[in-house]
Structure formats: C-alpha cells, structure tokens
Structure 1
Amino acid sequence: MQITVVIPTYNRAEVLRKTLHAYSQQTGDHRILEILVVDDGSKDHTQTVAAECAELDRRVRYLKQSNRGLAAARNHAIRKAEGELILFGDDDIIPTPNMTAEHIAWHDINPEDNCGVLGYVPWLSELRPTPFMKWSALYGPQFNFGYFVPGKELGFQFGYFCNTSVHASFLREHGTFNEAFKTYGYEDIELSYRLAKKGYKLRYNPDACGYHNKYETLNDAIERVEKLYRSWPEFAQTEAGYQFLEMWRGGKQRPANSVNQVARKMLAPLKSLAIPMLRPLLDTHVPLPAWVYSQVFYHYVTSFATVVQNTEKLVPTV
C-alpha cells in the first residue's frame, strides 16, 4: 500500500513550509506516493512556498480552490488522491521522522479497508508549551490523548482528522466530509460517526507522532472553543450531533473526575476571588493541579449547556 498525504492550508505559508520540509525527511518504510497541498483560497505566498518545496520534493502537488472551508478542501484532495491510503494532516502538524512509517505499519498489520489509525499530537517542544497547554492536549479542551490506550478502538467523538490515516476506497464508498461545515469544528466528528455506522474502526498509535506547531494561551484556547461552538447549529441538525448530545447528557464522553468535583465544591465559596487570581498563572510555566486548569478554563468559556440551550430547537428528536 502507498499513502497520499493531505495537507489543507489557508494563509499560513511559512508554517506550511516547515511541515512540508518534515515530510520530505520521513524515514523507514513510509511509502509516500504524493503530498497534496490544498490551498483554500490563501491570499499570502502559499503557492510560492508549495512550488519551492515541490522543487526539492517532487511528490508535493499543489491544488487550489476558492475559500470554501476545511471540509471542502479535504474532499478536493480525496477526489485527487492516488494512494490506497490517505493520511490527513494539517499545515501546522509537523511529522516526526517515522510518523508516516508508523501509520503504514499499522495498516500492514490491519489491512482491512474499514481500519483507520489515529496518531498522537503533542505540542512542538521548541515552542516551550505551558503546563496548561499540555493539560489541554491530554484531557481537553484541545484533545483527549491522555484517556487513550494504544491499539484501543476509539469512539466516533474522538475522530480527529489532523493525524489520521484511512483507506481511500472506504471514504469514497461510505462518505466524505460534509461541506455544509464552512467554519472550524465538528466536521471530522460528523464524518467519523457516518463512517462508524459502516464499520469504521479507528485505533490509536501514539508512535505515529506529529507535533502541533502552534502556541496557545488561555485566551487563545477560549477563543478557539467559542469558534468551535459557532459550528454547533450545523452539527446539531445531523444524526451525529444528536448522538453526540445524548452522550454528553449521559456523561459518557470522558471518565468522571472525582477530584474535579471535590475541587469545584472547595472553590465555590471563594470562586469570585480565586478564579481571577489563578487565571494569570495558566500562561506561565508554573505547574498547577489539573483541576485548577479545568476550573479556570471552564469558568471563562461559554458553557456547552448554554450553547445547546440556544440551539435546542435545531436538534432532531429521532
């Protein structure tokens, strides 16, 4: 099996350059047939960067489209891909030298076309990520890698498509991304749900590691989640959105955190004073207990319950 790497991008030319350079340095049995850069209507020098990288690595192919969003960009690549496998990356996910080879190795062991592989996405160490950032990637609100067991099949709600490999034939037969999602968020979970109904099995391989080349402050994290919530009205109208909501209501999305529940009770009488005092510490390298990150972050971000309430009429009843 050969693999097509798909990298959608928008106005991040120099970030893209670093990522493409890392793909050109892959080692082991990576079997990269092509690297498709899908430019979603960038206004910077993305095309120039792609052309320069293609001079150094002939596997780089540049695809251009009008600004139609991430879902449309990925679908564009699916239509053009020539590899039997498609590895979905992002322009700011820098692969470790063996990342692609690790994806290939797991597909060699599990060659069925309904098998997918999710790799690990920690922060790029040279950015000096804060303890808050590390917590966010392991236990939310960025990712939930801290809960995953290598080789374990994952639920559709963890179908991140930033470092995931899937059989191209399975996608083309059973579903691609819903292009009604024009902005960031939920388009990958929605597709994962539809694929799962057709037998899709996503497993976690932490050795297929790609570093997230992005620094995120507390304010950045809050803004990202608020942006995600703006896609909830579209997601709420899908069957996947209904099932996601039912899981949330049942408290099944992540293990219950008794420590966090105790902390919530402890902080309640002092919350108005304690939370503002703790907030600046989240952007420092001072390590704090996980419950502090949770309490401070979810104090400032709009609650998911409020988001759901505001769109309740959109959620299907069956």
Structure 2
Amino acid sequence: MDKFENRNGRNDGKFSLPTVTFIMPSHNRKNQLERALKALAVQNYPSELLDMVLVLDGCSDGSAQMVEAMKPALPYRITLIERAQGGPAAARNTAVRAATGEIILFIDDDIVATPQLVTEHIRLHLEDDQAVVLAPMATPNDHVRPIWVQWEEYALELKYRDMENGRYEPTARQFFTGNCSLRRRWFLATGEFDEELKRAEDVEFAFRLEQKCKVHFYFNPSAIGYHYAYRTFESWKRAQYLYGRYDVIMDREKGHTWISKVILEEFLQRDIIVRMLVPLFVNYNWVKGVMGYVFLFGAHVLKFMGFKRLAFKSLSCFSNILYWQGLNEEMINGRNTKPTEPALMEVKS
C-alpha cells in the first residue's frame, strides 16, 4: 500500500503517505451514519493514517450513543463533536478546524465508500500537491428511491460520464462535498465555507479556492462512494428553486460576477423545449404547486410505459423552471427577502 504508480504508469518507488482526516457532518440519520462508518473501516489504506472528525449537527436520534458504542471496534480514530444545528457549512467548518490530517476528505453520512476510495483519492494527491480530487457519488443497486431522486442520480451520472470521456474538464462547479478531497492547508488559505449560504456553499468555496490557491481539479472515477440518497418531493422542488436564488447571491454579493454569463451560456445550450417552457412559466408561483405534480405524474406515466429518458426529461423541464423562478425572484426581491432553508442538513441528501 505504500507504492503508487504515477499518471504515466511508472512506479517511482516508495512514497511517504499522507495522513487523512474524514470530514463528516450528520443530522438525525443514525442508521445511514452507522453504515457509512462501517464502510470506512475496511479501506485498503493504512488505518493508522486515517481519522475522522464527525460533527453531529443538532442530532436527537441517539447518533452520539451509537458512535460511542462503535468507536472501540473501528480501526480509525473518531473525534466526535456535538453542536446546535447550524447547517452543513457550519458543521464542516467546525470539523476542519478540529482536523489534523494533511488531506481532508469530505464524505457525507449517506455515502458508502468502496474499499479503494481513500487510496484512489491519495493517488492523485501524491502526483500533484495542488490537486483537488472530485469523486463519484454512484447509484447503488440495492436502494429504492423515488423518481425525482433517480433523476438527480441520472443527471449526476451524465456529468461524471462527460468528465471521464473528456467532454469537459473538472472545475469548481463540480466540487460536491459528498465525496471530494484536498490538502488542509489549501482549505485554510482559502477561508471557510460561507455559512450564510444554505445551498451551493461547496461550489462557492471552490470558486474562491481556485482563485486564491490556483489548485487543479481532477475527477477520479475509481474513488467510488455509493450514495443512498433520499429527499421528499417538496425538498427536491425547493432545492431547484434555491439553486437559482443562490447563484444570483453569489454573483451579486459574493463577488463571483462571471456567474451570470455562465448561466446564460448554459441556458442557451438547453434543448428547445426547456428554452420555450421557462419564459412561459417563470413568473407564475402556482407552478411550484399544482404544476409540479402534473410534471411528476407525467414522469411516472412515461416511466411506466418504458420511456425512462422522457420521464427524466419531464423532470428536467420542471427543474429548470424552478431554478429560473428562484433566479428571477432573487433578482427582483432578493435584497428584501432572504432565502430560507427549513431542512438545513438535507442539502446534500
């Protein structure tokens, strides 16, 4: 385990392997958390170089007691921090402050790591000191989930496929804290996650990381973690809407003024159906309610008939409408009304 080949396939001898701290926030998901901790116990990376900072963010489901009972059997050390609920950004900031590893590896409590996950992250860090490693949150075969979650998985898998095939290079916009890693010193040099943001705080951080530290983003399809995702339809709808609002906030208040150009370019690349529907519905709030269930019903019917890709297209159209509603409302009313997020730790579920 102390030998790695570089990207050209040459073995340059023995490397000094870095220490790694897992950064994991959790909120009232005891069963998922237990499964995630067990998966990390069978990594094929030296266990003496691994530890975890686990932040229980307002947990009231017995997670702390469960973790304490598991500690003696785990091969890595866990620093357990309990705090009042403040959301994912605050929880991860708390964890990084307490971390000691040279590499910090962000992983969510609903991710089940494959045994080679850490090794595959570290392989790229050994080759490039300024590497930021992005890794897949893959779809497990033994997980039943609703169609809107299946759509999210499908959309994410398309991004992974495009990066793996070289259609586009990994960037800050693919920095998702469910499964990614970087050297702790780059995190500290950049500053922390912006705790005012309840959505896309990871991507906003990555924008600053790239600007300040000139890091290099890599996608490693072999550093697989299986994502046991779940969210309600209401939570899914709100997520799409809030992504639009927070993109405007990042442009207007956080200094990322280039985002508006990227948003327009991406919209013009959407298919013609999306480009027709968004202007028609963007100003109608009732779309979030009744119309959402029309799109959902249509998706279920199409999937039942065997047209799965068309079913996902239905949800893609609705997602784009919600996103542009959020963007539009933030541009018009945003300075007077701040976005609210009732389920803080559901951001990456």
**What TM-score, normalized by structure 2, do the two folds share?**
0.74
State the distance in 2 between where 1:44 and 1:289 align: 37
Offset at 1:150?
6.7
- Rate the CA distance shift 1:240–1:286 in 2: closer, same or farther, 3 A: farther
Question: Are the counterparts in 1 of residues 135 and 223 from structure 2 also a CA contact under 8 Å?
Answer: yes
> What's the counterpart of residue 23 of structure 2?
6
Give the C-alpha shift of residue 235 in structure 1.
3.5
User: What CA distance in whole angstroms lies between the structure 1 residues aligned with 2:257 and 2:308?
Assistant: 33
Partner amino acid, structure 1, of 2:206: S
Distance 1:108 1:150 in 2: 23
8 Å contact kept, 2:242–2:326? no
Give the superposition deviation at 1:41: 1.5
User: 1:118-157, CA deviations, whole angstroms, 9 ceiling, x for partnerless residues?
Assistant: 11111222114678755532425x9832321278742222
User: Is the contact made by 1:6 and 1:89 (CA closer than 8 Å) also made in structure 2?
Assistant: yes
Is it true that 1:121 corresponds to 2:137 in the alignment? Answer: yes
Structure 1 position 299 matched with structure 2 position 310: no
Q: Name 1:187's counterpart in structure 2.
A: 201
Task: Name the amino acid aligned to 1:222.
Answer: K
Q: CA deviation at 1:165?
A: 0.5
Amino acid at match of 2:317: Y
How many matched pairs? 299
Match status 1:310 vs 2:329: yes
Q: From 155, 161, 167, give the equivalent of 1:139.
A: 155
- Give 1:298 deviation, angstroms: 2.2
Q: In structure 2, do the counterparts of structure 1 residues 161 and 67 end up closer, same or farther at CA, with 3 Å as the change threshold?
A: same
Cα 1:31/1:197, change in 2 over 3 Å: farther
Residue segments in structure 2 that go unaligned for 5+ positions in a row: 1-17, 277-290, 336-349
Query: Residues 32-43 of structure 1 correspond to what in structure 2 (within 5 A)?
Result: 32-43=49-60
Verify: 1:109 aligned to 2:127, yes or no: yes
Residue type at the aligned position of 2:26: T
Identity percentage of aligned residues: 22
8 A contact 2:107–2:177 mirrored in 1: yes
Shift of 1:170: 0.9
Whole-angstrom distance in 2 between the partners of 1:34 and 1:60: 6
Instruction: Tell me how far 1:79 sits from its aligned partner.
Output: 0.8
Q: Deviations over 1:179-210 (max 9, x none)?
A: 112x3x11011101001112122110010000
2:211 is aligned to 197
The 3 A distance-change label for structure 1 pair 28 and 165 is same
1:256 pairs with one of 260, 263, 269: 269
Distance, in Å, in 2 between the alignment partners of 1:263 and 1:77 is 40
Work out whether 1:98 is the aligned partner of 2:116.
yes
CA offsets per residue over residues 18-70 of structure 1, 9 Å max, x none? Answer: 00010011124576421111111212111112112212115122112221111
C-alpha contact (below 8 Å) 1:86/1:167 kept by paired residues? yes
Whether the aligned pair in 1 keeps the contact of 2:241 and 2:326 (CA below 8 Å) is no
1:87 is the counterpart of 2:98: no
**How far apart, in 1, do the equivalents of 2:169 and 2:226 lie?**
22
Aligned CA RMSD, in angstroms, stands at 3.3
